[in-house]
Structure 1
């Protein structure tokens, strides 16, 4: 089933190949509408997934800071989410 990530009525990503981890849909990186993303300097660490990097989501003049995250080098236990991006902070997955 195709999933879409939406914010402010704009489709940020769309795929029928998401990977669900901890109730989050991770979208393949190639499914992102790149014009709605910009790199962030924010990082967090998960004990079993590794170090996450973030994107700000941008729609028009509005910015949702650090609303998308990914693991550039996930640990072996999370290797299925390499090259995938997940969302939070009001981004809806439908």
Structure 2
């Protein structure tokens, strides 16, 4: 699977390495290409996952503010609901496509 912005792959991993949570594919941290994500200050706390970290995704010509998000230190009880530890995994949305 790939996360793509304007034809540029910003993350890539085999399907079995991804985690699907609430309709979003979460990519493992090791699958994120360097230099495409910049943390933002956008605050968000999920009632069951905890505090999120948002990122601007840039491909060199365009940027999508808050186009990706992660839970660096999720609420430990959420691991039971998800079925595994997803700390630091990154999900993409807005103008990014997740494709096979």
Answer whether TM exceeds 0.5 for this pair: yes
* Corresponding residue SS for 1:72: coil
Task: Note the residue ranges of structure 2 that are not aligned, 5 or more in a row.
Answer: 80-84
- Are 1:87 and 2:92 matched, yes or no? yes
Does residue 10 of the first structure (1) align with residue 8 of the second (2)? yes
- Poorly superposed stretches of 4+, deviation over 4 Å: none
Using structure 1 for the length normalisation, give the TM-score. 0.91
The normalised TM-score by structure 2 is 0.86
User: How big is each residue's C-alpha offset from its partner over 1:1-55, in whole Å with a ceiling of 9 and x where there is no partner?
Assistant: xx10011100010011001111111000110012111111112111000010111
Mapped to 2, the partners of 1:11 and 1:67 lie a distance apart of 14
Q: Where does structure 1 lack aligned partners over 5 or more consecutive residues?
A: none
